[in-house]
């Protein structure tokens, strides 16, 4: 009979569609190779039979979960008192478009005054990630145009509730609401937004990913925190260091294999091509996956936390600096002979981002 001391350690990993170091580590086989032997059982969160375990992607209540994903649920969970700690951050810029109908007569962001701005609404969500992301994108764009986001005309786009791993439920609802004339503008990001911007019936009013200030490019997917519960980190710091070292090795692999990265990331985005993924993230995607905990990455999380608090998506304030623990990543990067990155993340410069962004 196996004693408690010799029981296998359950290590869960989680990442969502989009460009993540974890997704790349899984697709290249690096993650499973690292934990293929020994007393560790590695499992993807989406494989869990328990709905509550699967929902820990949002509420962060599952011990032994290392999650790399959108910052909105991570910040919400911390605000609600969950004990997960940020041990790394990846910063991958992505397309962030304000889209209107081509025949709408809307020519620049100032024309959005008084227009119906579409916000998805999932009524039963623990935290409405899509709504927060869209409102953040609109708020950034409106402020840049000298408009008061608090006076915007928000219009609900009823969206179906879903839970992880059902990744694409209702993904085109906002686009169809715009095409039908129900709303005058929508905000879409990532491969979804990049693909929608190529719809001949629509026109891109602005791509916020072209902004030079990284803090103005903050949204749910940028930056992405890597979290683990404090109790698991305290009991198994070596496992967490090994996990982070795998992410760093995956990031190095990406730098050495730029032509293969978009195709692997596209596997995490069903329904979108490698070209659409590459277009959404730009030519620097292969150099953007290294986990870090530099001042700009942390400031990005703090800026997002402030927005979510100001707009009522979270109830309780907290200090982002106290939410982070840099020691595991520092040890992991030293193990792979890589120093932490402290510079500002570069703006993605895909083809349309080279065009002037209409912010006047």
Dump pLDDT digits (tens) for 9-19.
999 999 987 89
Task: Supply angle C-alpha 318, 189, 229, rounded to 5.
Answer: 35
Output the pLDDT for position 276: 94
User: Mean pLDDT, to the nearest integer, of 296-304?
Assistant: 98
Q: Is the pLDDT of residue 178 over 70?
A: yes
Which part of the chain has CATH 3.40.190.10?
Answer: 4-92+222-345, 96-218
Q: Which of 333, 334, 340 is nearest to 298 (CA)?
A: 340
Q: Is the pLDDT of residue 348 over 60?
A: no
Helices H, strands E: what count in the chain?
A: 14, 10
Instruction: Looking at 20-84, list the stretches that DSSP marks H as alpha helix, in order from N- to C-terminal side.
Output: 21-27, 30-34, 51-54, 56-59, 71-79
Q: How confident is the model at residue 159 (pLDDT cuts 50, 70, 90)?
A: confident
Cα 62 to Cα 64: distance, rounded to the nearest angstrom: 6
- Encoded tokens for 115: 């227009």
% of the chain with per-residue pLDDT over 70: 89
The 10s digit of each residue's pLDDT in 71-124 is 999 999 999 999 999 999 999 999 999 999 999 999 999 999 999 999 999 988
Peptide bond into 165 cis (omega under 30): yes
Q: What CATH architecture does domain 96-218 belong to?
A: 3-Layer(aba) Sandwich (3.40)
Q: What is the mean pLDDT of the chain?
A: 90
Q: CATH: 3.40.50.920, 3.40.50.300, 3.40.1530.20, 3.40.190.10. Which one for 4-92+222-345?
A: 3.40.190.10
Task: Say what the pLDDT of residue 171 is.
Answer: 65
How far is residue 71's CA from residue 238's CA, in Å, rounded to a whole number?
A: 25
């Amino acid at each position: 009979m196996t004693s408690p001391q010799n029981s296998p350690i359950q290590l869960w990993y989680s990442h969502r569609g989009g460009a993540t170091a974890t997704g790349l580590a899984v697709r290249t086989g690096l993650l499973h190779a690292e934990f293929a032997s020994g007393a560790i059982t590695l499992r993807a969160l989406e494989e869990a039979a328990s709905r509550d375990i699967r929902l820990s992607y949002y509420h962060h209540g599952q011990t032994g979960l290392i999650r790399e994903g959108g910052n909105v649920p991570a910040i919400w969970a911390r605000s609600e008192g969950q004990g997960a700690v940020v041990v790394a951050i990846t910063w991958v810029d992505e397309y962030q478009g304000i889209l209107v109908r081509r025949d709408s007569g809307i020519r620049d962001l100032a024309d959005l005054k008084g227009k119906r701005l579409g916000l998805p609404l999932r009524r039963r969500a623990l935290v409405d990630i899509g709504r927060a992301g869209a409102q953040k994108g609109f708020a950034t764009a409106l402020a840049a145009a000298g408009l008061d986001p608090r006076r915007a005309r928000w219009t609900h786009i009823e969206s179906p509730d879903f839970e992880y791993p059902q990744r694409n439920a209702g993904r085109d609802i906002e686009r169809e609401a715009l095409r039908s004339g129900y709303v005058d503008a929508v905000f879409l990001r990532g491969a979804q937004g990049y693909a929608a911007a190529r719809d001949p019936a629509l026109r891109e009013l602005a791509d916020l990913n072209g902004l030079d200030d990284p803090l103005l490019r903050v949204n749910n997917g940028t930056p992405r925190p890597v979290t683990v519960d404090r109790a698991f980190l305290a009991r198994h710091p070596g496992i967490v260091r090994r996990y982070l070292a795998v992410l760093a090795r995956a990031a190095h692999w990406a730098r050495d294999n730029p032509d293969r990265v978009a195709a692997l990331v596209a596997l995490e985005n069903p329904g979108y091509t490698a070209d659409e993924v590459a277009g959404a993230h730009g030519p620097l995607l292969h150099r953007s996956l290294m986990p870090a905990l530099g001042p700009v990455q942390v400031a990005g999380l703090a800026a997002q936390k402030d927005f979510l608090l100001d707009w009522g998506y979270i109830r309780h304030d907290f200090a982002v600096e106290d939410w982070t623990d840099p020691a595991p990543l520092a040890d992991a990067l030293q193990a792979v002979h890589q120093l932490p990155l402290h510079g500002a993340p570069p703006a993605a410069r895909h083809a349309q981002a080279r065009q002037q962004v209409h912010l006047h």
